[in-house]
Amino acid sequence: MISKQMLNIESHIKIAEDTFEVVLPLPDEIELKPGQFVHIALKGHMLRRPVSVADVDKEANTFTIIFKIFGEGTLALSKYRAGESLDVILPCGSFYPIENINVNHALIVGGGIGVPPLYYLGKQLKEKGVKVTSVLGFQSGSQVFYEDKFRALGDTFVATNDGSYGHKGFVTDIIKDLNKPIDYYFSCGPTPMLQAVTKQLEKEKGYISLEERMGCGVGTCYACVIPLRENPKQSKKICKDGPVFYANEVILS
C-alpha cells in the first residue's frame, strides 16, 4: 500500500557526469516492482520529484534510485548526503507485468536517465531464466553508468550520440543489426528515442515507461496525462495508470 515515509539515506554517490546513485532503506511491508517510482519531497520545493526504482536488494532491505541533474529539484537532491533523511512516497505507479507474460528472450532498450528502471527489470528477468539483451544509449562516454551491471545480465551494447564511447549513434542503429528473435522489448528513455524504438519494433510486443512533469504523483491532479491510441480524446495518468504502458497503447508526442 502506498504511504509516506521518512527514509535515512544509506549512501549517496556520483556514478557518472551529473548522475547520482542513492541507496535508501526499504520499509517493512513495502514491495517495489520494476518500473515503479518513488515521489520525493525536497526542502524548499513545493512539488515532489518522481524518481524510478533502479534496484532492490532484498537481503540488505534497501532500494536504489539513480537520477541526473536536470533542473532545480534534481540539483537539490544531488546535495543531500548519507545520513540525512528523505521524505518519500512509495510505491508509485504501475510496473512491468513480467509475471503475467511468457518471455524467453527480452530486449532492453534504455536511453540516458531511462536506463535505471531497466536494470531492476533485467535483474528480475534474469532470475526468471529469461535471456536478456540490453542496448543502452547515452549522450557521451562521461555519462555512461551501470554498463558492467548490465553485462552481468547478458549481451550489452552501448551507443553514445557523440561517439566518445561505444557505438557512435543511436540505440536504433544497434537494434537494426541485432540477432533477433526477441519476444518482448522493454524500453525507457527520452520521448524521441521511445518514438524511434516503438516505430522500429512496431511488430514486436513491448512495454515502455514514461516520464512527465508531475503534480501530485498519486493520480488526483491530472497533470501527467497521455492520450490513448485507440481514442486520442481519452487519456491515462502516467503517475497512476503508468509509468509503464503497453508500447502501442499511448500516443508519444
Partner 1 sequence: MSLAVQLPGLELKNPVMPASGCFGFGKEYSQFYDLDKLGAIIVKAATGEARYGNPTPRVAETESGMLNAIGLQNPGVETIVKEELPFLRPFHTPVIANVAGSTVEEYVYVAKTLNKSDDISALELNISCPNVKEGGVQFGTDPELAKEVTYKVKEASDYPVYVKLSPNVSNITAMAKAVADAGADGLSMINTLTGMQINLKQRKPIIANQTGGLSGPAIKPIAIRMIYEVKQALDIPIIGMGGIMTAEDVLEFLLAGANAVAVGTANFQNPLACPEIIQQLPETLKKYGFRSVEEAIGKGHEG
Ligand X SMILES: Cc1cc2nc3c(=O)[nH]c(=O)nc-3n(C[C@H](O)[C@H](O)[C@H](O)COP(=O)(O)O)c2cc1C
Measured distance CA(203)–CA(180) in Å, rounded: 12
Total chain residues near ligand FES (CB under 6 A):
12
The cell for 67 is 537520477
- Residue 25 contact among ligand X, ligand FES, partner 1, none, beta carbon within 5 to 8 Å by kind: none
Closest-CA residue to 24 (of 87, 79, 76, 114): 87
The cell for 181 is 528473435
* Residues of this chain, 82-101, that bind partner 1 according to CB under 8 A: 87, 89
Binding flag, residue 101, ligand X (CB under 6 A): no
Binding flag, residue 213, partner 1 (CB under 8 A): yes
Contact 207, 96 (CB under 8 A): yes
Minimum distance between the CB of residue 186 and ligand FES, rounded to whole angstroms?
22
Binds ligand X by CB under 6 A, chosen from 169, 215, 219, 227? 215
Measured distance CA(148)–CA(141) in Å, rounded: 14
* Residues of this chain, 189-218, that bind ligand FES according to CB under 6 A: 214-217
Binding flag, residue 221, ligand X (CB under 6 A): yes
Measured distance CA(243)–CA(136) in Å, rounded: 19
User: In terms of CB distance, is 101 or 221 closer to ligand X?
Assistant: 221
**Where would I find the H helices in the chain?**
72-78, 116-127, 147-151, 171-176, 191-200
User: In terms of CB distance, is 6 or 221 closer to ligand X?
Assistant: 221
Measured distance CA(156)–CA(143) in Å, rounded: 16
In 203-218, which positions are buried (b, 16+ CB within 10 angstroms) versus exposed (e)? Answer: ebebbbbbbeebebbb
* Residues of this chain, 46-65, that bind partner 1 according to CB under 8 A: 46-48
Minimum distance between the CB of residue 101 and partner 1, rounded to whole angstroms?
27
- Residue 47 contact among partner 1, ligand FES, ligand X, none, beta carbon within 5 to 8 Å by kind: partner 1
Binding residues for ligand FES, rule: CB under 6 A, are 214-217, 219-224, 237, 239
Binding residues for partner 1, rule: CB under 8 A, are 1-4, 41, 45-48, 72-73, 87, 89, 212-227, 233-235, 240
